[in-house]
A and B are shown apart, each in its own frame.
Chain A
Amino acid sequence: MARGGKSASLPTEVGIQLSARSWAFQITNRRCGSLDASQALQLFTEDTMNKQGLGAGNGLHMGHSHIWQHVFSRRQLMKTAAGTAGLGMISGLGVPKLAHAQAGSGEPKPIPGGVLPFGVPVHHFPLSLSVGKPLSEINDPSEITDFNGFVGGVHILGEGNGTGFDTPLAFQTDMGFMQGEFIGEDGEHHNRTFVFV
């Protein structure tokens, strides 16, 4: 529980502020740190028209507060992701088995698009590009494709107590779930439940 018994209210404007888990809420044109906020907001899609491409220098620099559409082929995406994110480095630390899912297994396939926080392509869309956007404009809450089932997503800010801190810590949670039928990497139909943490 929060110390002091006082709950701070949420800010009326929730800027992106270099946080990949708040990739999208309330896009502003202000600069955050040394990066423009919109740098964390580039979307990429696999099958839309390509106006920007992935030429040198355009992968990160954005001087505008609107969304840029990039086209990534899945091959480009995985090559970039593996090279940039050092995916192999996260294995072997006791994380759930799914974190080691391989192509060809019965695990689900990621959605073909996503966002590029800090230039790193990830198969995830923020729920909405601004707090006030209507529901009809949400992005895909699911992280798996060839999917037929229940889905949910939340973005919640709050506070709590952490060991060694006299004042409350702020938290941000961008989480969700997928539950139902999907066609796995093995081409077979499966029915399982997943949680985005």
Chain B
Amino acid sequence: MDLYTGPVGSTKLLQQIHDYSPGISANGLFWLISAPHDAVQVRLGSGTASVQMTDVPVLDAHDIANALTGGLGLANPPIPPIAAVPATVSFDIEWSNVLEQAKVTNEMQGFTGQFWKTGATIKWSSNQAGFSFDSEAPNPTRNIYSVIGHEHSGAFFH
């Protein structure tokens, strides 16, 4: 969950001012949190799903470079080291309006499943010492690419 100065669509690293994530686990799980079962609702039959969580503790690494380097910054482009600070985020994501359905099998990545490309919206907010953010109302036109599905991977692939 990233924030940038500039108009919608601004995603340049040098414009980034907040980068919220739960961090990378010791075994490599990337920005993943465990969630209550009822935080996620999936209804593939109707092509809809939702994720709702409140006050999830995360880190604000300021920018993606510091999020990935553990606060070490980058040499090129020059991104100064910035230590992460604690924050919380809340979000409500809704998938709906099926655009396409397909069975997908990817041998190289080792997964197969039935997927639905859908529309999606998000309403989210963040809070930390000295700063808070509230996103605009859910807006279907902001969706870039969204999918839901049911898949088998790894040991379940074949």
- Interface residues, chain A, with chain B CB atoms under 8 Å away: 1-2, 7-11, 14-15, 17-22, 25, 32-35, 45, 47-48, 77-78, 81, 84-91, 93-103, 105, 107-114, 117-118, 120, 122-125, 127-128, 131, 134-136, 138-165, 168-173, 175, 177, 179-181, 183, 185, 192-197
Which of B34, B120, B134 sits near A193, CB closer than 8 Å? B34
- B46: which A residues are within 8 A, CB to CB? none
Which of A101, A150, A193 sits near B27, CB closer than 8 Å? A101
Majority DSSP secondary structure for residues of B touching A: strand
Which of B2, B132, B133, B144 sits near A10, CB closer than 8 Å? B144
Tell me, rounded to whole Å, the shortest Cβ–Cβ distance linking A14 to chain B: 6
Complex-state Cα separation, A32 to B76, whole angstroms:
12
A-B contact pairs, 28 of them (CB 8 A): A15-B11, A19-B2, A88-B70, A93-B84, A95-B58, A98-B29, A99-B23, A107-B27, A108-B29, A118-B64, A120-B69, A134-B102, A138-B147, A140-B151, A150-B40, A150-B149, A152-B51, A154-B143, A160-B125, A163-B130, A163-B131, A163-B133, A165-B5, A169-B3, A170-B4, A175-B51, A183-B155, A195-B32
Closest A residue to B88 by CB, please name it. Answer: A94
- B148: which A residues are within 8 A, CB to CB? 150-152
B9 A110 Cβ-Cβ under 8 A: no
With A33-B13, A95-B58, A96-B34 known as contacts, the answer to whether A155 contacts B29 (CB < 8 A) is no
A175 B93 Cβ-Cβ under 8 A: yes
The residue in B22, B145, B153 that gathers the most chain A C-beta atoms within 10 A of its C-beta is B145
For chain B, the bracket of interface size reads 35 or more
Closest B residue to A149 by CB, please name it. Answer: B150
The residue in A35, A93, A113, A139 that gathers the most chain B C-beta atoms within 10 A of its C-beta is A93
With A2-B136, A87-B70, A197-B22 known as contacts, the answer to whether A170 contacts B10 (CB < 8 A) is yes
B110 A112 Cβ-Cβ under 8 A: yes
Known contacts A96-B57, A152-B149; 10 further A-B pairs (Cβ under 8 A):
A98-B25, A99-B33, A123-B28, A127-B145, A135-B102, A140-B110, A142-B151, A150-B42, A173-B124, A195-B35
Tell me, rounded to whole Å, the shortest Cβ–Cβ distance linking A91 to chain B: 7
A123 B8 Cβ-Cβ under 8 A: no
- B37: which A residues are within 8 A, CB to CB? 179, 192-193
